[in-house]
Amino acid sequence: MRNRNLICVCGLVVSLAVAGCEQNARPAASRLAPTVAVEPAALPMFTTVTLSAEQLMSLDWSGRAAGRSTIVDKRIVGPGVEFDIRFPGGAGVPSMDYISTGAAGEGALAGLDVSRYQSLALKFTLVSIDGRNDPNFPVGIAAGAVIGPAGDGRLSACEPVVLGFSPEQATKVATTPMHTEKIRVIGIHAHVVNPLAWDSRGGVVTLRVEPAADAQVLPTPSVDATLRSGNQTAKSARLRRPSRSTRSTTVKSGTNKTSESDKPRVKSSPNPTMGTTHIGAW
């Protein structure tokens, strides 16, 4: 009986010892386990650039040619801009480029670096012609993205798509290859595909332009900081500007007296000027 108790005690001691070793081994194993660093997901490298609604609104030049097509109105609608384009009839030219260029207008997008991109893409939707969107309308409208200079020496390039009112033609993405490092010309193009069927009195085409999917919006420098800096500079200049009054009048005993120091000083020249009038400070 005593031997049996001794065996039980010995077995209990061995079990506790084994359990203690396992507990001591587990933290050590966890400390020795290698940690795997999780790398952040790589940002997609876009090779196609597109324009935001604000950038589309900054387009402002359509030329000066007589009888040209003109922008009647433009407005932001959702992520894009709707343009009301009046195409002339008769001897007019039912075609136009509406762009931002360094040669005329404000040129808000001219000169920006686009060397990392291979193409410009925009999404076009034909909304209406003279307020109608009849699928049987006999006239098609071509529209595309304009970018320049082109690689073949031309001022700009454009590869338009043809739009209509049928479901498969109403909305398309136009993509134009790019061969320039800095923008000289960028914008949209539109023209009447079959001008002989165009109304001789002309008409208004409503075209919606939106950023293309799977493309990066053209990076532009922030203008907010520039505007704030300009406003602050103008405010400081106004604060430093001297008063327009050049005379200080002292009222004494009902008599106005002007001090000698307040009289305007006139610079005299020993030689008279002939035929030249100096205006302002000199």
- Domain architecture of the chain: domains with CATH: 49-215 (2.60.120)
More confident residue, 8 or 39: 39
pLDDT at 79: 97
List Cα–Cα distances, 4 to 8, 13, 16, 108, 173, in angstroms: 6, 14, 19, 98, 90
> Residue 66's pLDDT band (boundaries 50, 70, 90)?
confident
Does the pLDDT of residue 235 top 90, yes or no? no
User: Hey, is 277 helix, strand or coil?
Assistant: coil
pLDDT at 35: 62
The identity of residue 146, as a single letter, is V
